[in-house]
Chains A and B, each alone.
Chain A
Amino acid sequence: MIAFWVLLVLIAIAVFSFVGIYNSLVSLRNRCDNAWAQVDVQLRRRYDLIPNLVETVKGYAKHEREVFERVTEARTKAISAATVKEQGEAENMLSGALKSLFAVVENYPELKANQNFLMLQEELAGTEGKIAYARQFYNDSVMKFNLKQQVFPSNIVAKMFNFKEKEYFEIEEAEARRPVEVKF
């Protein structure tokens, strides 16, 4: 009789921990997806800011057409990028173009004092930071998700239900690791 009860308790414990592990794997996977979506939200915000910024700078520096064109082109490319790799390249180009835009601004003291411009500059710097943090959080989430699939005993459950490890977001060029330098 005692053996029966012991067996019953053991089975109950096994079932409960099984359900717990499965649920935590699912919620970790959802967190990764959500974190990835958060990166897109911030990238979109950055794309939306750029036309405003270009317009504001244009008002003071009409002759720098070349710079504006580069920024606009890089932005279009980044938005329409189909693969992660393409997007990475376009993002690099956009960062470079923005850098030269801010270099141009240095020659226009009036523009540097413009309230609207300062606001946009702060927003852009803030968004750059948020993109970096969103990517960092995505990688942190992926690390937790992958770890859960590797350690015992959750690796058994992960194998059973065919959970796949997710890939980290990595930046190839060291240059792109730094966000655009925006001075204050």
Chain B
Amino acid sequence: MYEQITRNKWKSFFLIIFFLGLIFVLTWVFGELTGLGAHGLILAAIIAILMTFGSYYASDKIVLAISKAKPIEKKDYPYLYNVVEGLAIAAGLPKPRCCLIDDTAPNAFASGRNPRNSVIVVTKGLLEKLNRVELEGVIAHEMAHIKNYDVLVQTLAVVMVGIVALLSDWILRSFLWGGGKRKGRSRGGGGAAALFILIAILLATLSPLVAQLLRFSISRKREFLADASGALLTRYPPGLASALRKLAEDREPLEVANKATAHLYIVNPLKDIKGAVNKLFSTHPPIEERIAALEKM
């Protein structure tokens, strides 16, 4: 359990370092091509942060509105509240708000930029189809997302995807605009300059794709991490494993979920994950792998 937590933390850390490396290379190429130095990075970072700031700051409100989640009160759902309160105590966090989606497809997610502003959302189907131990497993997984600041990590990943996309775009555009400037700067003869340009084009075309893949990979590592640290909260991995099995067997898609919010849920609510390519672009690891990891604890 502890090893899995440490391993997944390191993995997501290295992915982010790799991401930063990619951004660094792109910045350098952009600087070489246009003579603007690191200004490209600063501009791209500012734009990307501005674009995502709203979604970070109001992450809970936006996603609640999209998912049609309604706040609920303790007297109506004492069962859910007791489970959430218990796990908040176990995690040493303030109790998150609870919301309900009126849908029979069993699923859940957590959001909010920090533990103080966090919210846990479950569907009606989840409460109906899981027993108490399984529900505790799912809520513990969501509590772990909150404790690990996963909204922040996800936002960071989106910002980095944005920076890469902008820089790549500008590198390609610089060929259209600044041909003269470049000719003046090429020192080492035509061959090397041509090679550099070729590499720059290749890099600028492939980077956005690589960035997306990195983002999905980070998301998958965070799911594994939340499974492991959730199991540490309940000290009972089979609870979550059995819940995941039930959620996987349920073939009903969740109507209020879409491509933009799918990555939040504990299991993919769109239920269309098959094939190796889809696996690369998936925000969630295959459920069988998650269950296997839980059973190993």
- The contact size tier of chain A is 20 to 34
A70-78, A81-89, A132-140 - interface stretch: A132-140
A122's nearest neighbour on chain B, judged by CB, is B78
Q: Output the nearest chain B residue to A124 by Cβ-Cβ distance.
A: B82
Q: Known: A35-B92, A38-B89, A136-B90. Is A129-B78 also a contact (CB below 8 A)?
A: no
Asked whether A130 lies within 8 Å of B85 as measured between CB atoms, the reply is yes
Q: Determine which of A31, A125, A132 lies in contact with B82 in the assembled complex, contact meaning CB atoms within 8 Å.
A: A125
Instruction: Determine the distance from Cα of A132 to Cα of B90 in the docked complex, in whole angstroms.
Output: 9
B92: which A residues are within 8 A, CB to CB?
31, 35, 137, 140-141
Q: Given contacts A136-B235, A184-B132, are A130 and B78 in contact (CB under 8 A)? A: no
Residues of chain B lying within 8 A (CB to CB) of residue A137: 89-92
Question: CA of A118 to CA of B213 in the docked complex: distance in angstroms?
Answer: 50
Whole-angstrom CA separation of A130 from B82 in the bound complex = 8
Residues of B within 8 A of A133 (CB): 86-87, 89-90, 233
**B109 CB to nearest chain A CB (Å):** 22
Interface 0/1 of A117-160, CB less than 8 Å to B: 00100110111011011101100110000000000000000000
Known: A126-B82, A129-B86. 13 other contacts (CB 8 A): A31-B92, A123-B78, A125-B82, A125-B132, A126-B78, A126-B85, A130-B82, A130-B89, A133-B86, A133-B89, A133-B233, A137-B89, A184-B132
B83 within 8 A of A: yes
Are the CB atoms of B89 and A119 closer together than 8 Å? no
- A130:B132 contact, CB within 8 angstroms: no
User: Which chain A residues border B81 with CB–CB below 8 Å?
Assistant: 126
Among A119, A130, A141, contact of B86 (Cβ-Cβ < 8 Å): A130
Task: Place the interface of chain B in its size category.
Answer: 10 to 19
Task: Name the B residues within 8 Å of A42 (CB-CB).
Answer: 89
Answer whether residue B10 sits at the interface, using C-beta atoms and an 8 A cutoff. no
Residues of A with C-beta under 8 A to B89: 38, 42, 130, 133-134, 137
Residue of chain B at shortest CB distance from A125: B82
Q: Label chain A's interface by main secondary structure.
A: helix
The interface residues of chain A lying within 8 Å CB-to-CB of B14 are: none
Task: Tell me the bound Cα distance from A54 to B89 in angstroms.
Answer: 27
Q: A38–B86 Cα gap in the complex (Å)?
A: 11
In angstroms, Cα B91 to Cα A133, docked, is 8
**Interface-central residue, B81, B86, B136, by most chain A CB under 10 Å:** B86
- In-complex Cβ contact of A123 among B82, B87, B132, B233 (8 A): B82
B240 to chain A, nearest CB (A): 16
Looking across the interface, which residue of chain B has its beta carbon closest to that of A141?
A: B92
A27 → chain B, closest Cβ, in Å? 12
Please give me the residue from chain B that is nearest to A184 by CB atom: B132
Q: How far is the CB of B236 from chain A (nearest CB, A)?
A: 11
Q: Top 10 closest A-B pairs, CB basis?
A: A126-B82, A133-B90, A129-B86, A133-B89, A130-B86, A133-B86, A122-B78, A134-B89, A137-B92, A137-B90
Residue from B78, B79, B89 whose CB has the most chain A CB atoms within 10 Å: B89
B87: chain A residues at CB < 8 Å are 133
Given A136-B235, A184-B132, A122:B90 Cβ within 8 A = no
For residue B82, which residue of chain A has the nearest CB? A126
By a CB distance below 8 angstroms, the chain A residues around B79 are: 122, 126
Closest to A34 in B: B92
Residues of B within 8 A of A31 (CB): 92
Q: Can you report 12 residue pairs joining A to B where beta carbons are below 8 Å apart? A: A31-B92, A119-B78, A122-B78, A125-B82, A126-B85, A127-B82, A129-B82, A129-B86, A133-B87, A133-B89, A134-B89, A137-B92
